[in-house]
Structure 1
Amino acid sequence: MLIGEFVGLRAIDKSDLSTLLEWRNKPDFRLFFREYRELNYDNQLQWYEKYVLNDPNTRMFAITALDTGELIGACGLCYIDWINRNADFSIYIGKDGKYIDEIFAVDAAKVMEKYGYEELNLHKLWAEIYSIDDKKKAFFQNLNFKLEGTLKETHWTEGQWVDSLYFGKINTSVLQ
């Protein structure tokens, strides 16, 4: 388990899938996810078996509250490019419909950054979010990720085109 101040990051277990699926299918969360459609348990299980258990370019974690051990969200590094040493950073807090908050999400992000840079020796973490996702814009800016680019009108949602925003953060440690 990876330990932060408020959260622990542990391997996602098959018993977590129903809860993660429930959060993942929340319409107000789905607005901000690449997979826009509602998923069923078979979809969730296929994702778990293909990516979580068997994809060497994916590292997904369950976020748990340190004080209770309760599952509160998920995060991970996806599309890991081992040659160019970068990965897509993904995170959400499902518990109590938070999506992104200032305590658990921030703490989990700091743990993920340390893991990505120090354990996996990545050079850069990046994230694609949609321009309507104000919580994640503020979240990544707070973590000193920089807006590196905008792709116009890439995602259709709620009757409108929205832009994809790419945030990135380069590992500046001397271990590079």
Structure 2
Amino acid sequence: MLTGTYTGLRAIERNDLSQLLEWRNQPEFRLYFREFRELNAENQNFWFEKYVMQDSNTRMFAIVDLETNELIGACGLCYIDWINRNADFSIYIGKEKLYIDEKYAIDAGKIMEQYGFGELNLHKLWAEIYSIDKQKKCFFEKLSFMQEGYFKDTHWTQGEWVDSIYFAKINNWEG
């Protein structure tokens, strides 16, 4: 397990899937996800088998509260490009519908950063978020990610077009 101050990152287990699916299907969370439709258990199992268990370009983790060992969310690095050494950073806290908070998300985010840059030797971590996702915008700013791009009208939600904002951070510790 990778540990921070408040959170630990461990492998996602099959028995985590029902809780992750419940959180993943919350309408207030789906609003911010690329995959906006409600998922079923078959979709969740497919994702687990294909991406978590078999895809060498994906590293997903369960986020647990270090005090209680309770599952509280998920995070990972997706679309890892091993040649150009970059990956898409994904995270949410499902516990108490926090989504992104000041305690757990920031702590887990720092662990993911250390893992991506240190363990995987990546050069760049990036994320695409939607302009309506104010919590995630603050999250990436607190982790010192820089806004690198802005694409107009990329996502249709709640009867309107929203924009995509791209954040990234370069590994400043490379030799």
Cα distance, 1:122 vs structure 2: 0.2
Deviation at 1:132, TM superposition (A): 0.3
Deviation at 1:64, TM superposition (A): 0.1
Amino acid paired to 1:7: T
Q: 1:115, 1:140 → 2: CA distance?
A: 16
Q: What's the CA shift for 1:66?
A: 0.2
Equivalent-residue separation in structure 1 for 2:143 and 2:2 (angstroms): 19
SS of 2:172 mapped into structure 1: coil
Give the aligned partner of residue 2 of structure 1: 2
Partner of 1:151: 151
Asked if 1:70 is matched to 2:70, the reply is: yes
Give the 5 Å matches for 1:64-143.
Answer: 64-143=64-143
Cα shift at 1:29: 0.2
Shift, 1:96, TM fit: 0.2
What secondary structure, in the 3-state scheme, does the structure 1 residue paired with 2:16 have?
helix
Match of 1:24 in 2: 24
**Cα separation, 1, equivalents of 2:142 and 2:65:** 21
How big is the shift at 1:101?
0.3
**Percent same amino acid among aligned pairs?**
69
Q: TM-score, normalised by structure 2?
A: 0.99
Aligned counterparts of 2:18 and 2:86: Cα–Cα separation in 1? 30
**1:44 aligns to what SS in structure 2?**
helix
Give the TM-score, by structure 1 length: 0.99
Provide Cα deviations, 1:30-51, integer angstroms capped at 9, x if missing partner: 0000000000000000000000
Unaligned runs of 5+ in 1: none
Is 2:31 the counterpart of 1:13?
A: no
Over the aligned positions, Cα root-mean-square deviation in angstroms equals: 0.5
- 1:76 deviates by 0.1
In 1, the alpha carbon distance for the partners of 2:111 and 2:44 equals 25
2-structure distance, mates of 1:52, 1:86: 18
